Structure 1
Amino acid sequence: MADNTLVRDVTDDEVAFFKDNGWVRLPRLVDPDHVAVLRDRALGRLRERSRAVTSKVDQAFGQSRDVAEADEHFRDLAFAPALGRGATRLLHGVTGVRIQVTNLLIKEPGGGHGATEFHQDFPWMPMDRSAMLTVWLALVDVPAEAGSLRFYSGSHRYGALGRSFARDGDDQLSQHPWLKELEVSPPLDLASGDATAHHALTVHGAAANRLGTARLSFTVTYFDADALYTGMPYQQTDGLGLTVNQPFEHPKFPVVAHA
C-alpha cells in the first residue's frame, strides 16, 4: 500500500516514552480533516449497532468490532504504513505486526455508560507473547471530563496480572492494591486526531463521560507478527482453524508491517 501522509510517524521521543511508561500520547497522529470524514462514518455505524447490555464491558462503552473489515475508510487507516511502522517501533524487538482487531468505541453521557474499570488487555488473548498494543484515536475532541484513558505508568513491566470484567470487583486495583504505588498518567485532553497508544500489559481505564456529548474513538490493536496461537478459547479465534503453536496465518489477522 502506498504511504498515507494523513498519518504521521511516531518520534524517537515517543518511542522512548512508551518503552519507559507502557503508554504514550500521540498528538495530531491523524490529520483532523480526515478524522472528520471518519467521524461521520462512525456515527452512522454506531447508530446501527445492537444496544443490548450482555457483559460488564457493555456497561462501560458501546462498540462496533472489526469495523475495518466492513468500511474501507477505517481499513485504509488501520493499514496505513505509518501506523504499522509506529507499532513495530513501539513494540521494541518485533520485526513486524498483524492487526488483531479494529473497533469503534462510544462512551455516552448522562448515565448511558459508566466508568471503564482499570484492567489489562492481554490476559484474555490466545497469543504466546504479550507484544501487543492499541492505538486509541479520538474522533471528536475528548477532554478529560469525557473519559479519556488513564494509565498506570510502568505497569507493563509486571506481566499478566489477571482478567477483569469477568466478575464483580475484579478490576486491577482491587486485585492488586500495590498498583497505586505507581504513577498514574495525568488527565488527558485530546483534540480530534490526537491518539494514545498503550501496551496490552499496561493497566488502564477511564472515568464515566461527564460531558453532554458522546466520547467517540477508533481503535486498532496490533500484535507481534511472529506470535504463535496457543489454542486458548477466545471468541474472535474460535472456529477459524488456526493451528496451535503456529503463527496467525488467517485473513482476519493480516500483516501490515514486516522487516
Structure 2
Amino acid sequence: MTDHEVEFFKENGWVLLPRLVGPGRVDGLRDRALGYLRTRSRERATLVDQAFGQSRDIAESDEAFHDLAFDAAMGRCATRLLHGVRGVRVQVTNLLIKEPGDDGHGATEFHQDFPWMPMDRSAMLTVWLALADVPAGMGSLRFYNGSHRHGVLGRSFTRDGDDQLTQHPWLKELELSPPLDLRAGDATVHHALTVHGAGANRGDTPRLSFTVTYFDADALYTGTPYKQTDGLGLQVNAPFDHPRFPVVSHA
C-alpha cells in the first residue's frame, strides 16, 4: 500500500487497492464462494436481504478465506489506514452476492456501517474484494467523499425509503465517487463512517465479493445489543478479548 493510497483514504474515507489478491488465488476463492452461496438462504425478509445475499462469518469455517482475512499483511494495511491505532481485530467476514435481473437484488441504499456496532470508537474499516470482474454496471460500491468526517449519522436498513440521503439531504453536497470498474482481485476499502451504497446489478452474471471488517484492537465493548456479540460473555467497558475477535496486527 502506497503513501498516496493512505493519504487518499484519510481524505476521502475510502480507497481503491488494485490487484490486492493475485489471479490464481482469487480464482480459487471465487470457486469456493460459489459453492457456499449456492446453499445460502434465499429468504428476503429484510431490506438487507433485498439488496444482496450473504454468507456470514465465512472465515470461521473455510481455511482459504481465514488465511486471507488473518494474513498479517492485511492486518498491517488496516492498522496503517486506521491512523493512530496500535493494532486491529477481525470483526466479521462475509461472502456477498448481488443477483442480476428482474428477480435479482435491488440497489444497496446509502448507509454507514458503524451505527449498529457495540464498540466505543469508530476506528473500523471494511475491505471489499471483488472475486470476479465487477464493472460499474454490476453494482460496485460508491462513496460520498469525506462523509466519514461527519460522525455517526444514524441507522439505515430499518424502514423503507429511510436511507442516509433521505435522513441527511445535505450529503448530496459532498462529491460522490466515480463509478468503479473492478477486476477480480481488486478491492475497495472504506471507513465504517463513510456513507456508501451500490446500484442494482445490471449485468448478466452475479456480483461476487468477499469482505473482512477490522476494528481497533483497543476498542471497548459498550453492551449495545448486537446479534454477533450477544451471549459471548463480553464485559462492558473492557476490550474484545474473545476468540471470536482475535488481534491480527500490532503496530
Normalization by structure 2: what TM-score? 0.99
1:194 maps to which residue? 186
Q: Name the structure 2 match of 1:114.
A: 106
In structure 2, C-alpha distance between the alignment counterparts of 1:46 and 1:249, rounded to whole Å: 31
Distance in 2, Cα, partners of 1:208 & 1:48? 22
Give the count of matched residue pairs.
250
How far did 1:54 drift? 2.1
Name which of 108, 116, 122 aligns with 1:124.
116
**Matched ranges for 1:38-49 at <5 A:** 38-49=29-40
What residue in structure 2 maps to residue 204 of structure 1?
196
Alpha-carbon displacement from aligned partner over 1:142-189 (angstroms, at most 9, x marks no partner): 000000000000000000000000112210000000000000000000
Q: Partner of 1:12 in structure 2?
A: 3
For residue 145 of structure 2, the aligned residue among 153, 156, 163 is 153
Whole-angstrom distance in 1 between the partners of 2:225 and 2:70: 27
- 2:67 paired residue among 76, 80, 86: 76
- Mapping 1:20-99, distance limit 5 Å: 20-99=11-90
Q: Which residue of 1 aligns with 2:243?
A: 251
The CA distance in 2 between the partners of 1:181 and 1:195, in whole Å, is 26
**In 2, Cα distance between equivalents of 1:167 and 1:126:** 21
State the TM-score, normalized to the length of structure 1: 0.96
Matching residue of 1:5: none
What is the deviation of 1:258? 1.1
Cα distance per residue 1:103-150 (max 9 Å; x no partner): 000000003100000000000000000000000000000000000000
In the TM superposition, 1:131-150 aligns within 5 A as 131-150=123-142
Residue 7 of structure 1: aligned partner: none
Unaligned runs of 5+ in 1: 1-9
Whole-Å separation in 1 of the counterparts to 2:131 and 2:66: 15
Seq. identity, %: 80
CA distance in 2 between partners of 1:227 and 1:32 (Å): 35
Equivalent residue in structure 2 for 1:100, among 74, 87, 91: 91
Tell me, what secondary structure is at the counterpart of 1:197? Answer: strand
2:128 aligned partner, one-letter code: W
CA–CA distance in structure 2, aligned partners of residues 47 and 213 of structure 1:
14
User: Who is 1:234 aligned against?
Assistant: 226
Partner amino acid, structure 2, of 1:160: V
- Name which of 208, 217, 230 aligns with 2:209: 217
- Distance (Å, rounded) in 1 between the aligned partners of 2:36 and 2:151: 36
Give deviations 1:42-77, integer Å, cap 9, x for gaps: 000001111111211000000000000000000000
Q: Which residue is 1:167 aligned to?
A: 159
CA distance in 1, matches of 2:161, 2:137: 24
Runs of 4+ in 1 over 6 A off after TM superposition: none
Structure 1 Cα separation of the partners of residues 41 and 156 of structure 2 = 23
